[in-house]
Amino acid sequence: MEFNKKRLAISELIGLDVKIIESENRLNMGIKGKIIDETKNMFIIKTKETRKKIIKDQCVFEFKFNGKNIQINGKSLSVRPEERIKQR
């Protein structure tokens, strides 16, 4: 499981299904959808109803990756996407 978590943390996240399982903002709890854009500090998630801008370091996310659900603290994802991907 740890290998998948590390692999996911350095992968392209746009297009993945995601769910917020913990958040400092209780209104964000349970939001789920698809990541459609990413910045250093935010995900833009398309839900069934709308698009939500979510601050990464305030949440714990659950991603579907290689057929598994993997939980990652957003603080570990708070880098520019292009810098994170270069860490491969």
Give domain limits for the chain: 2-86
* Cα Rg of the chain (Å, integer): 12
pTM: 0.86
Residue bearing the bigger pLDDT, 76 or 29: 29
> In which band, very low, low, confident or very high, does the pLDDT at 85 lie, cut at 50, 70 and 90?
low
Average predicted confidence (pLDDT) for the chain:
88
pLDDT tens per residue, range 1-42: 465 677 777 778 999 999 999 999 999 999 999 999 999 999
Strands (E), the chain: 17-23, 32-38, 42-46, 51-55, 59-65, 68-73
Q: What share of the chain is helix, strand, coil (3-state, %, to 5)?
A: 25, 40, 30
CATH of domain 2-86: 2.30.30.210
pLDDT average, residue stretch 48-54: 97
Query: What local confidence, expressed as pLDDT, does residue 8 receive?
Result: 74
How many helices (DSSP H) and strands (DSSP E) are in the chain? 2, 6
pLDDT average, residue stretch 37-56: 96
